[in-house]
Amino acid sequence: MTEIILYGGKGGVGKTTVAVGTAVELARNDYETLIVSTDPAHSLSDATDANLSGEPSEIRHNLWGVEIDPQTGVDRYRSLFELLASDLADAGITLDEDEVASLFTSGIMPGSDELAALDGLTRFLGTDRWDRIVFDTAPTGHTLRLLDLPSVMDEGAAAALDIREQVRRKVDTARTMLFGPMARRRSEDSDEFTELREQMTLLTEVLRDPDRTEFRVVTIPEPMVVKETERLVTQLRNFEIPVTCLVVNKVIEDPGSCHRCQSRQTVQEEAIETLRTAVPALELRTVPDKPGELTDLDALGEIGALVETAERPVESGEN
Which of 15-19, 72-76, 230-234, 274-278 has the least mean pLDDT?
72-76
The reply to whether 13 and 116 lie within a common domain is: yes
The reply to whether 24 and 104 lie within a common domain is: no
The string of pLDDT tens digits covering residues 228-240 is 999 999 999 999 9
The reply to whether 64 and 165 lie within a common domain is: no
The string of pLDDT tens digits covering residues 96-122 is 555 555 555 544 445 556 777 777 788
The reply to whether 30 and 105 lie within a common domain is: no
pTM comes to 0.79
Q: Which residues pair with 218 in a beta bridge?
A: 247
Q: Which domain holds residue 182?
A: 74-109+158-192
- What is the band of 179 on the pLDDT scale with cuts at 50, 70, 90? very low
Q: Radius of gyration over alpha carbons of the chain, in Å?
A: 24
Q: Which residues pair with 288 in a beta bridge?
A: 251
Indicate the number of domains in the chain: 2
Q: Tell me, yes or no, whether 225 lies in a domain.
A: yes
Q: Tell me, yes or no, whether 252 lies in a domain.
A: yes
Residue 92: other Cβ atoms inside 10 A? 10
Q: What's the CA gap between 24 and 65, in Å, rounded?
A: 11
The reply to whether 124 and 222 lie within a common domain is: yes
Which pLDDT does position 96 carry in this prediction? 56
The reply to whether 14 and 105 lie within a common domain is: no
Burial category of 318 from C-beta neighbours within 10 Å (exposed 0-12, middle 13-18, buried 19 and up): exposed
Which pLDDT does position 111 carry in this prediction? 57
Q: Stretch 281-294: mean pLDDT, rounded?
A: 82
The reply to whether 301 and 182 lie within a common domain is: no
Q: Looking at the chain, how many residues does it have? A: 319
Q: Which residues pair with 248 in a beta bridge?
A: 219, 286
Residue of 83, 18, 5, 49 whose CA lies nearest to 218:
18
Most confident of 106-115, 170-179, 195-204, 250-259: 250-259
Q: Stretch 191-202: mean pLDDT, rounded?
A: 78
